[in-house]
Amino acid sequence: MEAFAGNFDHPDDETRFPNGGERIVNVLGTPVGLATFQPGWRWSNDVRPMMGTDSCPLLHVGYALSGRLHVEVNDGSTLDITPGDVFQIPPGHDAWVVGDDPCMLLDWGGKVREYARPVDETIGGSR
């Protein structure tokens, strides 16, 4: 195994969507995303039209760097993510930025490359 240092200023992949974006660096074959959501960003308004699903179908596992994110899971449970939190968000959720500061999250949930892309452009073509 070789030493490695990647940088989100020179990502391996990048996805942009209204009010945000995600830069991806691959580490040992695993994508790690740095997501930035601007104030006013909401998954159901800004990403749902691109993905074509009723709620986010992806698992997110990560660490909050800044800002605040409120999550509502399809089962009715809620989660508030603040800086310093390590989080797990199950598939089937909506989320939005709370307050006037951008929310920045590291996400290594495994399907980072599929975020904010139509189902037919994802690996396997379905979720």
Question: Mind listing the pLDDT tens digit for each residue in 8-64?
Answer: 999 999 999 999 999 999 998 889 999 999 999 999 999 999 888 999 999 999 999
Burial class (CB in 10 A: 0-12, 13-18, 19+), 104: middle
Q: Is the pLDDT of residue 119 over 70?
A: no
120 has a pLDDT exceeding 90: no
Residue entry with tokens 């139509």: 118
State residue 104's pLDDT score.
98
- Who wins on pLDDT, 52 or 99? 99
- CATH number of this structure's domain 13-118, picked from the four choices 3.30.413.10, 3.90.550.10, 2.60.120.10, 2.60.120.650: 2.60.120.10
Q: Which amino acid is at 32?
A: V
Q: How far is CA 106 from CA 25, 60, 65, 73, 121, in A?
A: 11, 9, 7, 20, 23
**Least confident stretch, 55-59, 72-76, 108-112:** 108-112
| pLDDT given at position 90 | 95
Q: How far apart are CA 58 and CA 90, in angstroms?
A: 7
Output the CA–CA distances (angstroms, integers) from residue 60 to 5, 106, 110, in the order listed.
Answer: 23, 9, 8
